[in-house]
Amino acid sequence: MSISELSPPTSPTLNAPEEDPIQYKLDQIINSGLGTDQELTDSWYAIEELLTEDGDIVELPTKPLKTLLEAKTLAFFEDYIDRMSVLDQCLEEIEDVVKQARTKIDQIESGLEPIRDPIYQLLDTLQNYEMQEQTILNQIEISNNFIEKFTLKEEEIAILGEFDDNEEETAGRQTDELNWKFFKAFNKMEQIRRDALELLVKEGHPIGQDIVNSLVEVSEISYKRLSNWLKDKLNILQSGYPEVSLLFKWGVQVAKSDSTLFESIISTIIDIRSKFILANFYQNLTKGGRAIDYNASDSNRYIGDILAWLHSTVVEEKDLLFNLLCISPPETNTGDNDEENTFISLPEGLKFSEYPEGDGLTLIDQTLQAVLTPISTKIRDTLQNLDHPMNSFQITNLIQFYTNLLLKLLGPASVTAEVFEGLVKDSTDIFFKISEDEMTQMIAEAQVI
């Protein structure tokens, strides 16, 4: 018999109430109370209390009822025992099936044993391949980053000026107008050079030297183009006080990376501005509606006009050159929509940096040296022609006043300050000499009287 054939144990069948009411009640209580001895006893007392006739408790014979209860209980437990026997038999069959399944599993495991190690080896191999693949991907990424960092793109090389062996085309490009694209490529080239030298010096990798060598040709061409472009741009300094474009200032900043080129630019600036200042002085001296020489007969006004012109020139020259050399760093953007004029970030060492103010003041002082000689000569000539102490005193104070202004603008170590301190001394000496001569004359006249 299988488990599916089992059915719950059935209770004794109840008699119909109309056939035997008392027996029906008896069966009902028995069916609900079969179990322990205590339960049987309780059922007996319940029957005695429930079965009544005309209000009197019916005395039932004890033995037949007990026999009936025992018989029903015995029948119930016999059925229960039979069913438990069937259940035990089914459990034994299940155990046999489980044993057979375990036997099959053991057989399968035994069959897989010869290929277990190869499978593990295959899994290890696959894992190693995955690790190698990741390593290769990392190496590819590193290589790409290295190439990006240490290699100029073809378009960048073309922008910098490395062409085929066409000298005419190359020469033409070397004198053209540079733009931000050129400086972006130029800055990257300089950054590559610095990184390669660091790779060579600090890390000891010979590839750093190879990278530097690969940049020699394009570097020479780009520096030549930059030099020619800057020299051409410097020509705007030959007249007046022009607006200096951000691109021009950028070119001067980039030139700082080459000391020879930068010194050449500074020398050119000094030469151009010296010639302009000297020419401008003589022009203001003799030409125009307010020519300085028109007041040559008025010593105070004459010297005052010369000194006022010099002070104005120093202020304008300082503004121009400080702006050009970025002693006061410029704004970093000229417009959001103009790609050619948009400020770009330079690599370290080529960013907009303040040119030392002391060097800037020295540069201005050098541009003034050409005009100091004619100015000091005219002032001294005028001082020599003074014959009245009051005029001499006023001019001495005037020279001292402008000397103090120039000291604040250029510093005490400037040649201009040195020249004007000499003028103050000469003017003071002349004042004392004129005063002494005037006093001597007054004493002589008093003695005559």
Q: Where exactly are the structural domains of the chain?
A: 3-145, 271-448
Of 48-57, 331-340, 359-368, where does the model show the most confidence?
359-368
Assess contact for 324 and 248: CB atoms under 8 A: yes
Of 3-17, 333-347, 373-387, 434-448, where does the model show the most confidence?
373-387
Site of tokens 């109840």:
14
DSSP states of 72-108: HHHHHHHHHHHHHHHHHHHHHHHHHHHHHHHHHHHHH
Average pLDDT over residues 231-256: 88
Helix boundaries (H) for 151-179: 154-160, 167-174
Residue 89 pLDDT exceeds 50:
yes
Phi, psi of 176 (to 5 degrees): -85, 180
Which token pair is 47?
């029957």
**Which neighbouring-strand residues pair with 56?**
53
CA distances from 4 to 1, 96, 270 (A): 8, 18, 115
Site of tokens 């007969």:
297
The answer to whether the Cα torsion of 335, 340, 345, 346 is positive or negative is negative
pLDDT of residue 328: 56
Half-sphere exposure of 157 (CA within 13 A, CB side): 13
What digits encode the pLDDT tens for the residues 115-164? 878 888 888 888 999 898 888 888 888 777 777 777 888 888 888 875 44
Q: How many angstroms separate the most distant Cα atoms in the chain? A: 189
pLDDT of residue 24: 64
What digits encode the pLDDT tens for the residues 44-74? 566 655 555 444 555 555 555 566 667 777 7
360 Cβ neighbours under 8 A, 6+ residues apart: 318, 321, 322, 325, 327
The answer to whether the Cα torsion of 101, 104, 108, 110 is positive or negative is positive
Return the higher-pLDDT residue of 265 and 347.
Answer: 265
Assess contact for 189 and 215: CB atoms under 8 A: yes
**Which neighbouring-strand residues pair with 57?**
52
Helix boundaries (H) for 215-298: 216-234, 246-255, 259-286
Assess contact for 236 and 328: CB atoms under 8 A: no
The answer to whether the pTM exceeds 0.75 is no
Q: DSSP character for 360? A: H
